[in-house]
Structure 1
Amino acid sequence: MKESSSSQRLLSLDTLRGFDMFWISGGEEIFAVLAKVTGWSWAIFLAHQFTHPDWNGFRAYDLIFPTFLFMAGVSTPFSLGSRLEKGIPASDLVKKVIQRGIILVILGIIYNNGLFHTEWSRMRYPSVLARIGLAGMFAQIIYLYTGKRARWIWFVGLLIGYYLFMVFFPVPGCGAGLLTIECNPASYIDKMIIPGRLHQTIHDPEGLVSTIPAIATGLMGIFAGELLRTSEELISKNNKVVYLIFAGIVSLLLCLVWDYFFPINKNLWTSSFVLCAGGFSTLLLALFYWIVDVLNYRKWTLFFVVIGMNSIVIYMVGSFINFGFTAEALFGGILSYLPEPLEALGEVFAFIAVQWAFMYLLYRNKLFLKV
């Protein structure tokens, strides 16, 4: 299939990335506060959606992490594909891919533990950034060294292989087929091989074993990116939207079927979870691509682009800069004159505004953390 030679960034992708990161950088608190101060049923429902299930199940908040990994996959055909077409050998590009993966692992360790702040025995090594780094790295290596058919074989093999492992591997003292937090193969092996501590003592939602199916999440993004990068002479923009919608719906239907045998579970990153999160991510990409790059409605995108262009910074910065203190210093006095419900809501918007202003300052000065 012929591909366009343009390696230009997709504005819709940067917008969607910013939209995704907005919800974990303060946006989710809007509904939590609304639910608390108003008691409105719709606000309570949305606030509930911005929490994680205890174990099995799926809520909107579960989509944020895999969507970010999915988008890293979408950008792969644009970033690496254009360089391959220029004649840069895969062996040169893979060095950069591995370097990026290692840097994200290191940033994740710093995010969890600080610098020389935690005892070695109490450090937590798995992290959100490590999963993005490792799963994205292996997905990109597959992209560099395989053709399209082989990538699909890898995708199917990862999902089925992980399912077979989780269902048939006998955990000592538990047997095979149990997928509880106390008894499941992923947590059992993680406890044996990961040094330091696990996030939940007996289980880590970003453990090494469950990183394997997360590679398939990255591959789903790569498939979508290859479609979007295909020349418009072969597939029009409108047809790309249709194909993305179709793929998203099929993925969700397969997810619902597989849920009966292999429950949707973000903690274990089950194969059904990959299809569920991937299906919703694909539909979101179709929506943003259609609005931004097909209909060309772009004026509203700046708010999210500012966040999306520095997504790693927005994720990490809250651990090192106290935006809440600054928001209170700047707006606390004014907000204190408002009724209590409005004051509580105003505090959330003040926090978001201060954090966004910081990101905008970086954006205006073209200061981007490139990993």
Structure 2
Amino acid sequence: MGSGGEREMFQERADDAGVIIAVLSSNFIHSRTCQQQLYYCEQRKKVVPLLMEDAQIPSWLELMLHSNTYTCVNRRDYREHLPTLLQKLLDPKARQSPNSELDEARISYAVKQLKKLLKSHLCVYVCGPTLSDSIDTQVVRALGSALCEFDDVTVVTGGGYNTEYLVSHAFLEEAQQKLRPHRVWHVLPEREQEDRTVDYPQNSDRTFQVIAFGQTYFCGNSLEERDLVVSKAIEICLLIIGDADLKSVKLAQKFSWNDHYVIPFVINKNTDSSFTEQLSQGISTEDCLALNNTDQSVEARASVFHDILTRILDNLEMEHKEEASQDIVMSPPQKLPRKSPAKSGGAGTTKTSLKSVNTIIL
């Protein structure tokens, strides 16, 4: 955001404004300044995103603004639409519907409920490309076996006909053979207005079916809302990379934005793995390169995957301990037990003052 003086000037002007217009050009969207300024404004003001023709909206921006309604400059009526929208937002007699707040509360509740279901030592969300003949099933089985080696594991998928289906099924078969009490959950929305029958077990009324194996949890009114819930609730995402599949990459970016771990895994030798380091979150460059070295044997790559998960579990254990210690520090003091009042004239009669108890006045 520049120097301290420039930052203060920007913040003063933002504080004085009734509405913020964010002019989203391609260069600005990918700058650190964009993230800093939009974060400051979104916490305090109504933000109207004005999208330039060549700009693509990244996942972090959609999550931050909680909106898919961007005013695009290539719309024919944008010059008429923008002033009308600003007038509506600035009119003191107009009251806006609290839909965004209600949506956020609903998603937060779904996140809380999903976390209750997924109380495992290790919980991994698996997402990947659409199934094809080029998928190496040997690698899929190796991933399932590596996950099965841990104690108390839950594998979560989005319930689609994707690579995640194969991995979760292989994992569950391995667990049943080894008599391990592992679980598989599939998370699907209540409904999706678009026809997604090619990718998901969707009914004619746009609702979804229960998956044949594992357990199914329904949350959200769209696949987009479902993605918001899982990216907030689950701390580890295994992103399987096959052919070009932007939907899975976009979902993995949501996990990164929530400061969760993302493990990119290239499944086929003919897939470009040069960009995997950019998609990874919370794992070292060395681990990412070793994991996606397709010249190695399947067993060697599965071993690297197991080691990465072990280190992530160690990190999560430390993070959770730190959070627990902070909760103890921030928790309200226990009420002091009342003593029975001393009889009149007794030596135990004292006048209670603020100095006689450990009190902080805020």
Q: TM bucket by the smaller chain?
A: under 0.3
Q: If you compute each CA radius of gyration, which structure gives the higher value, 1 or 2?
A: 2
Task: Calculate the TM-score normalised by the size of structure 2.
Answer: 0.26
Of the two structures, which has the highest relative contact order with CA contacts closer than 8 Å and spacing of 6 or more? Answer: 1
TM-score, normalised relative to structure 1: 0.25
- By percentage of residues, which structure has more helix? 1
